[in-house]
Structure 1
Amino acid sequence: MRSVVGELGQVVRHSMFIDGRFADFDADTVDVENPANEEIVAQVPDGGAMHADAAVEAARRAFCAWSARPAIERAQMVRGLAEAIRADAARLAALITAEQGKPISQARGEVDAAVTFLCHAAEEARRISGDIVASDNRSEEIQIRRHPYGVVVALTAWNYPLALAARKIGPALVAGNTVVLLGHEITPLSGLAVAELADKVGFPPGVLNVLTGKGPVVGQRLVEHPDTSLITMTGSTRAGKEIFRTAADRIKVVRLELGGKAPFIVMEDSDVDAAVSAAIAARFANCGQICTCNERMYLHRDIADQFLEKFVSAARALSIGDPMEDCDLGPKVSKVEVTKVAEIIQRSIVEGATVHLEGGPLTDGAHGKGHWMSPTVLEVSDNGNAAMQEEVFGPVATAMRVDDFDQAIAFANDTSFGLSAYLFTASHRRLMEAPSRLKFGELYLNRSNGEAVQGFHTGWGLSGVGGEDGAYGFDGYLRKQTTYMKWE
């Protein structure tokens, strides 16, 4: 097979990976665009239902032999994939930047994260366990075992195409499932790179299949297919609702990591410099395209002016440039995404927002091509403002002043999302109260974002069901079976 990534600037036509082989499978092609300059960097198959069916059938056939292997053998192969990714880190980072737009330094971090996800999943192989429970009857015991589900469908978002693929396929494969992976149609190349390396490592045919195509076509068929047992998806709340509805017809297990609207609370007793630094990192990394991003800041009145002065200064100083070079902000992933964010900014201003730093779409000079935005900082007095209620997913920070901790908590919880929340305070009492009062699945207290692989990344409300990472995330790829064993 040809390399998944040729020399940057060279348009390469790629193939889907089904049942251990790369082939076009009679599909039309779609272009993959570099968001920094709008150049076409690759073409991939525009898959359809027939390709979804073929991939699921291959995964179904491979399941019995793969799940029968000792878990440690499966883990060794997953670890081999991690090492292959590590060895190919420079090429993969360039690929991520070319298709997604994040600065190369952040792309390298994503490659490192993918390796870490896979290695941690491999470590869980010897921790797959069950229970023996005392029976009420003589000469009987109750055994509870864990078994893989079967064919797992992994659907990933465009903001971290390689890391999210690794986050899902690692634990799914170590647990004994087979996988059909569909990356987002905007960023399909990272998934194909994983397939290429898995093929080199020697995964048996059908254990990992990688498709390209549109979610409403290929993804829809994968979710509704009678032979898929578990759906794990990271993406928008809108798409998550559609998947939930489709999966309901067959009562499939669904794990969804969806949108967020993270509050960032800064109290009067906080270290303001530390809070500003964390707020900048949590808002503008990956051009604000992270589900756990700082989406709305609640600042105690006593420190609000000081915080905003430092925050605006830091945001203004962020460098925007060629993402293949060192810079703070690369482009947004697409023109559609730029338009969406720009519309939210305008509606927020119409609804009364004050502009502390005027940013928005960039279209002149060096940024005449590509999907560029500069940082925007707004302040509002109404928690119902569009910028405080809708997921922005871009380089826009919005602040609101609060009188006290209780008001900050009330405003923070006034949302349908429940993924992440932040709190900066020196008060031990507030830190201890926060987990019971903030209605979010993941809290960052006196620090910026960035979850650990041994933790548990989970959302509440419209931010999803299930979760990823750690022992809790791994256990989600195993179902339980209870046996009542009587020997006399």
Structure 2
Amino acid sequence: MHEKWFLWIRDQEIPARSEEFFTVMNPATGEELCQVARGRAADVDAAVQAAAEALPRWSGMPAAVRGRSLLEVARRLREVEDELALLETLNNGKPLRESRQDVEKVAEAFEFYGGLADKLFGATIPISPNYFNYTLREPMGVTAHIAPWNYPLRLALRSVAPALASGNTVVLKPAEETPLTALRFAKVLAEAGAPPGVFNVVPGFGPEAGAALASHPRVNHISFTGSVATGVEVMKRAAQNVVPVTLELGGKSPNIVFADADLDQALEGTIKAIFTNAGQVCCAGSRLLLEDSLYERFLTRLVDRTGKIQVGPGIEDPDMGPLISEEHRQCVLGYIRLGQEEGAKLILGGKAPTEPICQRGYFLEPTLLTEVPNWARVAREEIFGPVLTIFRFRNTEEAIQLANDNPYGLVAGVWTSNLDRAHKVAAQIQAGQVYINDFFSDSVANPFGGYKRSGFGRERGVEALCHYTQVKSVCIRLKD
């Protein structure tokens, strides 16, 4: 691995104007991984300038040619899958198989949007016999993408792919904890034939590079994934320039298990919903709602199954890797203590594992909390770690009430063999995605986004293209 990584502007690795670097850590060992150039406002300005200058060439290119470039990106991503997956695991900590899945999902996104690039159709509007009215879909321009650390490659590029497909250029600010795969991807895109300046990466800290990017007057659209508090700040800065934003923010997602569910399937789905990526997932099923008649037997099986989860360094491909940092681990541990103070019962986990292989990194045992009051902070706030809060309900109406009694509305899971009930519950749940007898059904074709404080706009699917294009109406008066 390189000891030092640099900014990526105009298809070149360049140092930051300040010539400063910051340290990137390996969360599995607590050791330094490398040094990365520290971008600031001047570097953001250079990247936006490069993107603006590349825009006429990229947007003026035949859409089918742009699409072929994105299809080539998908092919090349699969060629370097092992390299990217290893880099992601070293930088983020997640198990190696999850990192490989992330690379494949990114490749699928570039295939999907590469195929849609020449299918951004306008429409004709029959307003009058004397007029010919039609619409065009045109790119927004320079798009800014501010990405989180939990899925560094996947969540950054799920918005980059539709932006590029629709003719926009890009400036990406990856999370300061996990900038490496974004910088490596930049070379993949360049090798696939994208002109210089179409894709630029400025690593750095949120209050410096992120704030400068969100405030830049030449940015025409902002995509942000992260916390509600930061999302509000991004929206405030965007508003100063009247720039539209797509926000995918936090979640406190309910996972509802009815007594008639396939319990084997529901158990494995519950484990996946909360402990994937060590619970560091915006749409994690962090609130488990169990029907009264199955509560005790499901809980017994859940404790047994959770206790068998193997925790360790991602490079060893365990069931669950470390948290992203010691600071974040202490935050999650603080929530576990708070939950107990609020009346919850800790029945499993709640501490760092004792195995020798876990002593140097930021590891935490999978944790189960029962008897959680619905008013408690651990029931209402996003913990962003391997902590499952468990509730019980008497009937369908109470399940829906509990599920919706939360400020977030990103995802919900429903487990039942009653298809009629599944449809009725899905219709009443306040969430952008409702999964029936599954969790994390995450096809790139499936639009993804939140209700309430979980944000607005949609990533993925055909719907995402709407955010990266603007409609122009052309009206021609015909001769009488």
TM-score calculated relative to the size of structure 1: 0.96
Q: Match for 1:443 among 434, 442, 450?
A: 434
Whether the 8 Å contact between 1:150 and 1:178 is mirrored in structure 2 is yes
2:422 corresponds in structure 1 to 431
Pick one of 317, 332, 336 that aligns with 2:323.
332
Are 1:42 and 2:34 counterparts?
yes
Match in the other structure for 1:134: 126
Residue 233 of structure 1, CA deviation? 1.1
Which residue matches 1:159? 150
The DSSP-based 3-state class of the residue aligned with 1:371 is coil
Give me the whole-angstrom Cα distance separating, in 1, the residues matched to 2:199 and 2:372: 50
- 2:380 corresponds to which of 368, 383, 389: 389
Cα distance in structure 2, aligned partners of 1:126 and 1:57: 27
Pick the aligned partner of 1:96 from 88, 97, 108: 88
Aligned residue in 2 for 1:298: 289
Q: Partner of 1:209: helix, strand, or coil? A: strand
1:243 and 1:338 map into 2 onto residues whose CA distance is 26
- Measured in 1, the distance between the counterparts of 2:455 and 2:116 equals 24
Kept after mapping to 2: 8 A contact 1:338/1:361: no
Give the deviation of 1:389 after TM superposition. Answer: 0.7
Match of 1:476 in 2: 467
Equivalence for 1:3: none
Alignment of 1:29-68 (within 5 A): 29-68=21-60
Letter of the structure 2 residue corresponding to residue 110 of structure 1? D
| One-letter amino acid matched to 1:140 | Y
- More displaced stretch, 453-462 vs 192-201: 192-201
Determine if contact 1:117/1:163 at 8 Å carries over to the other structure. Answer: no
Unmatched runs of 5 consecutive residues or more in structure 1: 1-5
Aligned twin of 1:462:
453
Q: Match for residue 360 of structure 1? A: 351
Aligned counterparts of 1:367 and 1:68: Cα–Cα separation in 2 = 53
Question: How far off is 1:363 after superposition?
Answer: 6.4
| Counterpart in the other structure of 1:288 | 279
What is the rounded CA distance, in whole Å, between the counterparts of 2:83 and 2:23 in structure 1? 20
| CA-CA distance at 1:399 after TM superposition | 0.5
How big is the shift at 1:163?
A: 1.1
Paired residues of 2:74 and 2:110 also in contact (CA < 8 A): yes
Q: 2:267 aligns with which of 261, 267, 276?
A: 276
Following superposition of structure 1 onto structure 2, how do residues 79-228 of structure 1 map, counting pairs within 5 Å? 79-136=71-128, 138-228=129-219
Kept in 2, the 8 Å contact 1:161–1:188? The answer is: yes
Report what 1:369 is aligned to.
Answer: 360
Partner Cα distance (1:487, 1:56) in 2: 42
Aligned-residue offset at 1:439: 0.4
Give, in whole Å, the separation in 1 of the partners of 2:289 and 2:275. Answer: 17
Structure-1 residue corresponding to 2:477? 486
- Partner Cα distance (1:428, 1:363) in 2: 44
Please give the secondary structure, in 2, of the residue aligned with 1:372.
Answer: coil
How far the C-alpha of 1:169 sits from its partner, in A, is 1.3
Q: Percent identity, please.
A: 33
Q: 2-side partners of 1:123 and 1:168: how far apart?
A: 16
Q: CA deviation at 1:201?
A: 2.5
Q: TM-score w.r.t. structure 2 length?
A: 0.97
**Shift, 1:77, TM fit:** 1.3
Alpha-carbon distance, 1:364 to partner: 6.5
Q: Are 1:320 and 2:307 matched, yes or no? A: no
Question: How many Å separate the matches in 2 of 1:103 and 1:432?
Answer: 35
Distance 1:382 1:289 in 2: 23
Give the alignment of 1:401-416 within 5 angstroms: 401-416=392-407
Gapped regions of structure 2 (runs ≥ 5) = none
Partner of residue 444, structure 2: 453
Across the two proteins, how many residue pairs are aligned to each other?
478
Q: Which deviations, in whole Å up to 9, do the C-alpha atoms of 1:292-348 show, x marking residues without a partner?
A: 111101111100011111111111000112211231011101111111111111111
Preserved CA contact (<8 Å) 1:261 1:295:
yes
Of the three residues 257, 261, 267, the one matched with 2:258 is 267
CA distance in 1, matches of 2:284, 2:157: 21
Q: Distance in 2 between matches of 1:449 and 1:58?
A: 37
CA contact (8 A) 1:421 1:440 kept: yes
Contact 1:115 1:166 in 2 (8 A): no
SS in structure 1 at match of 2:113 = helix
Q: Secondary structure at the match of 2:125?
A: strand
- The Cα offsets for residues 102-153 of structure 1, whole Å up to 9 and x where unpaired, read as 01111111111111111111011132101000113x4212111100000000
| Structure 2 partner of 1:256 | 247
Rounded to whole Å, the distance in 2 between the matches of 1:65 and 1:487 is 33
- Whichever residue aligns with residue 310 of structure 1, its letter is R
What is the SS of the residue equivalent to 2:316? coil
Q: Secondary structure at the match of 1:324?
A: helix
In 1, Cα distance between equivalents of 2:194 and 2:221: 21
Q: Displacement of 1:258 after TM fit?
A: 0.7
Is the Cα contact below 8 Å between 1:83 and 1:115 reproduced in 2? yes
- CA distance in 2 between partners of 1:82 and 1:154 (Å): 20
Please report how far the alpha carbon of residue 449 of structure 1 lies from its aligned counterpart in structure 2 after TM superposition: 1.6
How far 1:367 moved relative to its partner? 2.1
Q: Whole-Å Cα distance in 2 between the matches of residues 266 and 200 of structure 1? A: 48
In the alignment, is the contact (CA less than 8 A) between 1:145 and 1:480 conserved in 2?
yes
Range 364-373 or range 388-397, more displaced? 364-373
Contact 1:86 1:112 in 2 (8 A): yes
Q: Deviations over 1:12-36 (max 9, x none)?
A: 1011111221110333000110000
On the 8 A contact 2:93/2:313 being kept in 1, the answer is: no
In structure 2, what is the Cα distance between the partners aligned to 1:17 and 1:301?
Answer: 55
